[in-house]
Chain A
């Protein structure tokens, strides 16, 4: 032992003992015994054994090091000394100390590390091949955080399921990982990948020539399935098979390739086939670099196994087979061979020639249509990055009847409008199914846009709705588009998915985070995540706006803080929303940004605070109680008038209100620690019209009252965006706030007056989003309904402690109506146009009428 050279300080024992040439670190001798011990019968047990196994690997490595350090004493005392110290720091990391992993000699040119314990992958984003590595990692792992230099990913069961479903093979995943990794892929991870990908994605349910086939490139898998009684009975034997041995074999065909499928709107579509080849050559240099390191030619991966095997199953037994396959842990991927579907009529729609889709949209679609068929799954794009267009392009590619489901009737109208805008779909081909409108499309194929609740609702249906539902359930849909999939309750989803017969499903979302961790359900009901965009990347390329995020700390005034500490109920929330310092900060920021020429949206979940702020600051506001006409008027003024630069929105504005003019966002009250809401609100300014101006920045402010629960929620809310690479700057002091002319609540008396009005407010005022009432067809709590339903304020009994002087108005109380709603002023002013224009309007209206009459006469 002592002869061993000390310069090979850490791992000489492996080399000398085994003399192995390859990089593989694991010392097989030591581990075989362990593997035999682990009972291979049940998967659970073997997984448990695997964890021990990796722990043991470490122990052995440590033991070896210890031995080493004793040997090395006479050699270099420095290395001995290092090892000794090393042992002393390793306790900090406990189970997470992977320093025993063996670095590859050329590790510097490889970009990632893989943690053996939990499948975390750490990627150097500044590595020359990082971009390729990212593409690969997005396909096989969940992105955990993606800031500037170092990204983290995590291998999970679902991510591997997704990887397999887009056509990656187990061995290729391991191979590429190994090539990219600075350390050999740990055995525990290799086992994990094998175990997870063994059964997933091996079986596909394909509708081809209107017959259902169970398809797999692994005949053995099909054999396994056929051993099951239910599946065997569902099998349809085609006639050509004789009773010889061949009966056991399957129909074999060429694996599908992308072939000549062209996704409309993409570069390829523009340049047609021949140019496409050139485009590929152009990107060759990068690809070559990747290949030289990764060493796997991507084409090879796809054409590895070009034969697929299939057997046909009975249409009627599809559901049984699907269920059974899930039970057998061979969940079926659903692919739709829409080009060979001759039964369902084609829908003749296409993108307008002027419509061009962006590169990342193309990438996401290519994941969906990778092999010439439509895969079911979820595409994750940031708000404002054009999810709708991705959905529309997918529909235009499949060209079959299509059902679009969204969360509210407002979005329904938006989807319809977008379809009309981007594609050449005609009025007759697209129909809307909401509480008010129940249309059917003309012809044998078309598009229906509806909401989740309209389709999932099972009771209290009007006659019309029932008939409409019959229409929906009776037919076979080529494609179902599911918008905002992360907000839909799982039960509702299941109902939708089971009642509607669709061949391909596509889910769209911006934030695949749920506070309740129900993401897993989506995986099985829709399909794996096909693509997830990198926010920072898109911002850098100018597809979404650059945003400066800031958290403004507003100290509570002593009076408010005293009440805050005293109050136990929900009213605490009202107190920290109504903090006068917050008022001032809000006023200051509005002033500051209006002077810069920004258009500002102020968000408040709390309606009481919303009204109070808007009235005090003399700005327009929209909440659930705002009527439809008033709402449209306010939005129009905001969009077109240089005088209205600020509007206050309640929760109704979180999603779907599309205001590309807005460039600044201030948040004064929000829904506890909801990461999703934060991301969605940010999304309101990501599509800012001016985003491509040089040096343009959108601004996102969160006002928080210092030392209250808000601080805690705020930190939690930001987590998602921070992991996407956004940085929240903390502002503790706004320069020049004190000198602002007309600063509200400046004096202590005014503040106390505000406080007493807050204390008098009904407790229910503290509730969030009270204004938003779900109409028929809207998802509760998620929505922006067109008809919010009038706020029915129940006259509830209210008890407050207060002195008689206070009640009689002797204590800082006043009855003058000072805070008038600016909305009303607008309503009054609106009709008053200058005489000249009024006359012109009248003339134009008359002219239009005449023209129409003339046309009608002709017709």
Chain B
């Protein structure tokens, strides 16, 4: 299910078999939080359900096994089910659950955290009136809930504005600016940086960000938001539970703001800027007159699911976005079925674009274009994995997916950049005698820290790590000699 993560470069070549994907970034974040905080979070059934959805399959399996047990079971019972090969993943899963305080570590018994257990049970069976899944707003004749299409358009516009702002910064163009809150977030997350106090410029992290799938991008920003929330003295539990609640809401429905806490109400404004929710503002630019209802967009409702976070009909209107739109040929030519300016701008990061038709962009992967991308901090593997994830269905019949020659060449261009290796260290010179020199050199060789030596000049170069030892050695020898 939610296995959308940044895969390791080698894994990305066969994305389909990458089942042992890393944990979701939110899970990783929560593992570092205190037990107290997590327990408060688990009080919300919606949070329990959403987190459950973010867990890896094996972890989900474990939780499901224990969920309906009223008594605890000894760990050996559970371990008996595990095959020998499964030992390691099993231990990993237990570790993750323990750090999340879902399954407190104990040698004697295995039992779910009672708060989490009741929360998840409630989420599954229904009941309770906590309103943790959001409270639907009452039907209002005057303001009917917005159409799904309008919501999608809104989400897309907001989201693309952010990305497009990033991609076109520094190109001498002035696209629409996202709101100040978004800009601040981008700067804080290191995706953009202000150069000499001037306008914001995209950083190499930002370039890499652009090549990620939207789901990953979204969570990257939201995690940054969580970190900022901590600094702004917002209650992290409220923030997270609100996000998780949004992920369980239904697209195309209006929700009421009445049950929300003050923190959560404050969040609405930020989330509006990211395109996660749509809220009618009274008149342009006056936030006070905001409506008391809000509608989550697709970006929000898919936060913890595996369905695409952006409407599939984005781009050219024939669903190519979801299926992939890039054809890469052995002659380094690239044909992209798209009319989406954002996709074109992203392609422009590493492709020399030549011409464009209403639904097709033609370019070529050239040495210059790849060099430019590498200079921006994008790696060859990122380019390749972008091409793989967006490959046209026709390409999928190929094995391997991308022409090997082109892949290799992109990697070779990257290697070209790294032909010089630098290593810090110390040059040892001016030895009094050949014997001295050889003696110290031998010692250094035993430590395996010699990088270069020249016997005729009686000098050698040692790495940084070895310096303290060599220095000590020489000093000891000197004192011994003096004595």
Contacts and interface: CB of A to CB of B under 8 A. Distances in A.
Interface of A: 76-78, 81-82, 84-86, 88-93, 96-103, 107-108, 113, 115, 117, 120, 122, 126, 145, 147-150, 152, 182-183, 722-723, 725-730, 732
Given A77-B157, A145-B331, A149-B394, A183 B358 contact: yes
Contacts of B164: 85, 88
B353 A92 contact: yes
Contacts of A85: 160, 164, 175, 341-342, 345
B329 A149 contact: yes
Contacts of B153: 76-78
B356 A99 contact: yes
Given A78-B153, A107-B359, A183-B358, A722 B331 contact: yes
Nearest to B403: A727
Nearest to B359: A103
B172 to A, nearest CB: 9
B382 interface: no
Given A84-B175, A101-B358, 18 more contacts: A76-B153, A78-B157, A82-B340, A85-B341, A86-B339, A88-B164, A89-B341, A92-B344, A92-B348, A97-B355, A98-B355, A98-B356, A99-B358, A103-B358, A145-B333, A147-B330, A150-B329, A183-B357
A432 to B, nearest CB: 42
Contacts of B348: 89, 92
Nearest to B153: A78
B97 interface: no
A101 B404 CA distance: 35
A729 B333 contact: no
Contact of A108 (B318, B327, B329, B408): B318
B333 A93 contact: no
A98 B358 contact: yes
B329 A93 contact: no
Closest 5 CB pairs of A and B: A96-B355, A78-B153, A85-B341, A727-B330, A147-B329
Query: Chain A CB within 10 Å — which of B175, B341, B356, B357 has the most?
Result: B357
A92 B171 CA distance: 11
A85 B175 CA distance: 7
A81 B330 contact: no
A117 B362 CA distance: 14
B341 A82 contact: yes
Interface string B322-359: 00000101111101000111101100100001111111
Chain B interface size, under 10 / 10 to 19 / 20 to 34 / 35 or more: 35 or more
A113 B361 CA distance: 11
A619 to B, nearest CB: 29
A81 B161 contact: yes
Given A93-B355, A149-B329, A729-B408, A88 B175 contact: yes
Given A88-B341, A147-B329, A122 B157 contact: no
A147 B404 contact: no
A680 B7 CA distance: 44
28 contacts: A76-B153, A77-B154, A77-B157, A78-B156, A81-B160, A85-B175, A92-B344, A98-B358, A99-B357, A100-B358, A101-B358, A102-B358, A122-B357, A122-B360, A145-B331, A147-B330, A147-B331, A147-B333, A149-B327, A149-B394, A182-B357, A182-B359, A723-B331, A727-B330, A727-B404, A727-B405, A728-B405, A729-B405
A113 B360 contact: yes
A726 B330 contact: yes
Contacts of A149: 327, 329, 335, 392, 394-395
A183 B353 CA distance: 20
B155 to A, nearest CB: 9
A367 to B, nearest CB: 27
B283 to A, nearest CB: 15
B335 A150 contact: yes
A92 B344 CA distance: 9
B12 interface: no
Nearest to A79: B153
Interface string B297-341: 000000000000000000000100000000101111101000111
A508 B61 CA distance: 70
B371 to A, nearest CB: 15
B412 interface: yes
Query: Chain A CB within 10 Å — which of B330, B403, B404, B412 has the most?
Result: B330
B173 A88 contact: yes
Nearest to B318: A108
B408 A730 contact: yes
A754 to B, nearest CB: 25
B412 to A, nearest CB: 6
Contacts of A145: 329, 331, 333
Nearest to B344: A89
A107 B339 CA distance: 15
Nearest to A149: B327
A521 to B, nearest CB: 28
A818 to B, nearest CB: 33
Query: Chain A CB within 10 Å — which of B355, B356, B412 has the most?
Result: B355
A120 B356 CA distance: 12
Contacts of A729: 404-405, 408
B24 to A, nearest CB: 30
A32 B428 CA distance: 84
Contacts of B357: 98-99, 101, 113, 115, 122, 182-183
Contacts of A84: 175-176
A392 B362 CA distance: 43
B118 interface: no
B297 to A, nearest CB: 12
A148 B329 CA distance: 7
A389 B412 CA distance: 44
Nearest to A76: B153
B330 A122 contact: no
A368 B395 CA distance: 37
A547 B429 CA distance: 57
Query: Chain B CB within 10 Å — which of A89, A147, A730 has the most?
Result: A89
A635 B465 CA distance: 63
Contacts of B318: 108
B264 to A, nearest CB: 27
Contacts of A98: 355-358
A57 to B, nearest CB: 14
Contacts of A99: 339, 356-358
Interface string B419-440: 0000000000000000000000
Contacts of B358: 98-103, 183
A84 B340 CA distance: 11
B401 to A, nearest CB: 12
Contact of A725 (B330, B342, B355): B330
Contacts of A92: 344, 348, 353
B31 interface: no
A855 B245 CA distance: 107
Contact of B335 (A76, A77, A122): A122
A671 to B, nearest CB: 22
Interface in B380-433: 392, 394-395, 398, 403-406, 408-409, 412
B168 interface: yes
Interface in B111-165: 153-154, 156-157, 160-161, 164
Contacts of B395: 149
A183 B356 CA distance: 12
A558 B329 CA distance: 37
Contacts of A113: 357, 360
B169 to A, nearest CB: 12
Given A86-B341, A729-B404, A730-B405, A122 B161 contact: no
Contacts of A89: 341, 344-345, 348
B279 to A, nearest CB: 15
Nearest to A95: B355
Nearest to A11: B358
Given A78-B154, A85-B164, A150 B327 contact: yes
A145 to B, nearest CB: 5
Given A115-B355, A147-B331, A729-B408, A122 B341 contact: no
